[in-house]
């Protein structure tokens, strides 16, 4: 990339059910927090933030053109504001492209969702292919169960290995003050929890959560001027797979592989498991951390369970989505956590000496689409 883009500052709210807060409150808290941390303001003279990219979805917010309800809190009143109606990683991806293209020098990216105010199953059903799948009443969990079962049978992955993901991530979350659910669990605790859709148990799935996070990007010169700890965006990749599940091999995350290939190529990474210091990926269900690890090229197909057991690469040191992060916010929160890690600001959950991190976001049924962003420490 000719023009370098740096992450200047980040902020995240505490993730939990927040019935008393409006989505505007969530966004305002995150935006106010990142402005105070960086000392930046919205500006027309090139000495501050030029525009805002917000991330939300109408179905989850319950309004058409739902960004109109948070535009003031996001600094977009009578100013440039654009909405990405997908996972937060895509909002970050889009904002980086805006700066690389010379349209802006500095952008605020903010994502929010209140999952607790709606029935997510209905929203997920609306996201399925309409002619054959939607009428069956499927949601993302029931479809994920099909994917999990196929994956387990294809490679001999066990329910115990999936449960180990939950045990690890909930334990990691104990070092994360922003996590919603942190606790010491055993594999037996996970296996004996109530079944949502076989083989997925309630502890295999991320909890319902509310919250927001914000991030400020700037071109190289301003990033160096505004922070002593710039984090550079080195690689970008995204890819969509087919919508209809029957046309896809659910054990082969093709779109993730393509997204990772593009991101690694831009960042000059040729041997991912040796050149990446940490990964923050989006695992809505426990088996996905194993499958997505394979798609990211961290191990061979079917090797996700062994990778977890060998502890070669810190994955979701934050606690991941299984500790409680809302949909849409998920990918941008991965970026916030990875940036804090590279800045050395994560306290007990710090990965010592981390210089290169991978951010992963996903959307659609069974990981239909994926976004992979590679970042590096710039100091």
With 70 as the cut, is the pLDDT of residue 71 above it? yes
What is the band of 268 on the pLDDT scale with cuts at 50, 70, 90? very high
Query: At which residue do the structure tokens 């991330």 appear?
Result: 55
Of the chain, the percentage scoring pLDDT greater than 70 comes to 100
What is the band of 312 on the pLDDT scale with cuts at 50, 70, 90? confident
- Is the preceding omega at residue 199 within 30 degrees of 0, hence cis? yes
The pTM score is 0.97
CB contact at 8 A, 261 and 374: no
Pairing of strands 106-114, 81-84: unpaired
pLDDT tens-digit map of 204-218: 999 999 999 999 999
What is the rounded distance in angstroms from the CA atom of residue 105 to the CA atom of residue 126? 37
With 90 as the cut, is the pLDDT of residue 132 above it? no
DSSP helix, strand, coil percent of the chain (3-state; round to 5): 40, 20, 40
What is the rounded distance in angstroms from the CA atom of residue 22 to the CA atom of residue 195? 32
**Cα 129 to Cα 72, 122, 145, 237, distances in angstroms:** 35, 14, 17, 25
- What the chain holds in terms of domains, given with CATH numbers, is 5-118+208-226 (3.40.47.10), 233-377 (3.40.47.10)
What is the rounded distance in angstroms from the CA atom of residue 205 to the CA atom of residue 120? 13
Burial class (CB in 10 A: 0-12, 13-18, 19+), 19: exposed
What is the rounded distance in angstroms from the CA atom of residue 82 to the CA atom of residue 306? 42
Look over the chain and give the mean of its residue pLDDT values, rounded to a whole number. Answer: 96
What is the band of 47 on the pLDDT scale with cuts at 50, 70, 90? confident
**Ramachandran angles phi, psi of 54, nearest 5°:** -105, 155
* Mean pLDDT on 28-51: 94
3-state secondary structure of 176: coil
What is the rounded distance in angstroms from the CA atom of residue 205 to the CA atom of residue 182? 14
With 90 as the cut, is the pLDDT of residue 94 above it? yes
DSSP class of residue 193 equals: S
* The 356-363 sheet, strands edge to edge: 81-84, 51-55, 106-114, 210-219, 5-12, 231-240, 369-377, 356-363, 278-280
Please report the DSSP string for 218-262 in residue order.
EEHHHHHHH-SS-EEEEEEEEEE--SSGGGS-TTS-HHHHHHHHH
* Mean pLDDT on 337-351: 97
């Amino acid at each position: 990339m000719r023009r370098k883009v740096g992450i200047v500052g980040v902020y995240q709210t505490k993730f939990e059910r927040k019935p008393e807060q409006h989505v505007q409150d969530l966004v305002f808290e995150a935006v106010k927090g990142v402005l105070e941390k960086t000392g930046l303001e919205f500006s027309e003279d090139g000495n501050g933030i030029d525009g805002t990219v917000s991330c939300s979805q109408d179905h989850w917010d319950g309004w058409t053109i739902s960004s109109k309800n948070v535009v003031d809190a996001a600094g977009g009143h009578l100013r440039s504001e654009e909405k990405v109606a997908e996972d937060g990683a895509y909002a970050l991806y889009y904002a980086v492209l805006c700066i690389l293209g010379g349209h802006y020098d500095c952008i605020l990216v903010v994502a929010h969702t209140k999952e607790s105010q709606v029935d997510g199953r209905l929203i997920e059903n609306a996201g399925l292919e309409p002619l054959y799948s939607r009428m069956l009443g499927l949601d993302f969990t029931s479809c994920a169960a099909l994917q999990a079962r196929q994956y387990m049978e294809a490679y001999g992955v066990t329910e115990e290995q999936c449960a180990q993901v939950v045990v690890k991530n909930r334990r990691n979350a104990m070092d994360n003050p922003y996590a919603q659910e942190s606790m010491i669990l055993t594999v037996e605790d996970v296996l004996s929890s109530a079944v949502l859709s076989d083989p997925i148990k309630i502890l295999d799935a991320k909890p319902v959560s509310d919250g927001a996070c914000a991030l400020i990007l700037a071109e190289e010169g301003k990033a160096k001027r505004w922070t002593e700890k710039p984090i550079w965006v080195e690689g970008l990749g995204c890819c969509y797979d087919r919508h209809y599940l029957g046309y896809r091999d659910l054990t082969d995350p093709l779109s993730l592989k393509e997204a990772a290939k593009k991101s690694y190529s831009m960042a000059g990474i040729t041997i991912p498991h040796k050149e990446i210091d940490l990964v923050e990926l989006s695992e809505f269900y426990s088996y996905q951390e194993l499958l997505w690890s394979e798609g990211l090229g961290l191990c061979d197909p079917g090797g996700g369970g062994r990778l977890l057991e060998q502890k070669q690469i810190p994955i979701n040191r934050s606690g991941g989505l299984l500790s409680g992060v809302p949909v849409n916010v998920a990918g941008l929160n991965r970026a916030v956590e990875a940036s804090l890690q590279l800045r050395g600001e994560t306290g007990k959950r710090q990965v010592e000496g981390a210089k290169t991190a991978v951010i992963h976001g996903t959307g659609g049924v069974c990981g239909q689409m994926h976004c992979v962003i590679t970042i590096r420490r710039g100091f």
